[in-house]
Amino acid sequence: MSDDLSAKNAVRRELLDARSLLSPEDVQQAAAVLARQALDLPELTEAHIVAAYVSVGREPGTRTLLDALHTRGVRVLLPVLRADNDLDWGVYRGPEHLVRAGRGLLEPDGERLGVDAVVEADAVLLPGLAVDGRGMRLGRGGGSYDRVLARLAAAGADPALVVLLYANEVVARVPEEPHDHPVHAVITPTAVRRFTG
């Protein structure tokens, strides 16, 4: 195991341990504030297509935001985890059209649009555990979103890359590897921070 990977795994454990201390009320309150912050972000207010995800467990909540975007008429794409850990995409049609999937995830029912559907997005909400002062994101380590980011780059697509986090998850520096990509903005319940390349 490389030193970078070991360092990433240590930071992941620490951040997941901190999340495990959050109460359901903490998570719900943060989700409401995150949705309000996100809905004011020009990158999302001007978007016609947003690729997002359904939060689970103690992840910063996305469900209120998904419903608000859907109500605004935004085409919201949600990931569908494939057996090879890559992501297919489907359209969000409301909470009643979410189905349980592997690893405790919720996915959209209905038509699958293919792995390249994400390149049409004006904004991509990425799950994460931390973002640092340079905009480098630390994910969970499965590589699914690394593939998404590589696919966007290969297609010449340049959507706004946005991460929703808790305030303590914006850190001084996260360990990085050559394939890691910076994000454009991070939203926490207390602030929005943008990054320039």
- Tell me whether residue 58 is annotated as binding: no
End-to-end C-alpha distance for the chain, whole angstroms = 29
- Tell me whether residue 141 is annotated as binding: yes
- Tell me whether residue 2 is annotated as binding: no
- Phi and psi at residue 31, in whole multiples of 5°? -60, -40
Is the CB of residue 87 less than 8 Å from the CB of residue 81? yes
- Tell me whether residue 57 is annotated as binding: no
- Tell me whether residue 94 is annotated as binding: no
Alpha helices by DSSP H, 126-177 = 144-155
- Tell me whether residue 134 is annotated as binding: no
- Tell me whether residue 145 is annotated as binding: yes
By C-alpha distance, which of 6, 17, 59, 16 is closest to 175?
A: 6
- Tell me whether residue 104 is annotated as binding: no
By C-alpha distance, which of 83, 88, 155, 146 is closest to 117?
A: 88
- Tell me whether residue 15 is annotated as binding: no
DSSP per residue over 20-62, as a string?
HT--HHHHHHHHHHHHHHHHT-HHHHT-SEEE-----TTSPP-
- Tell me whether residue 143 is annotated as binding: yes
Q: What residues are designated binding site for substrate?
A: 54, 59
Q: What residues are designated binding site for ATP?
A: 8-12, 137-145
Q: What residues are designated binding site?
A: 8-12, 54, 59, 137-145
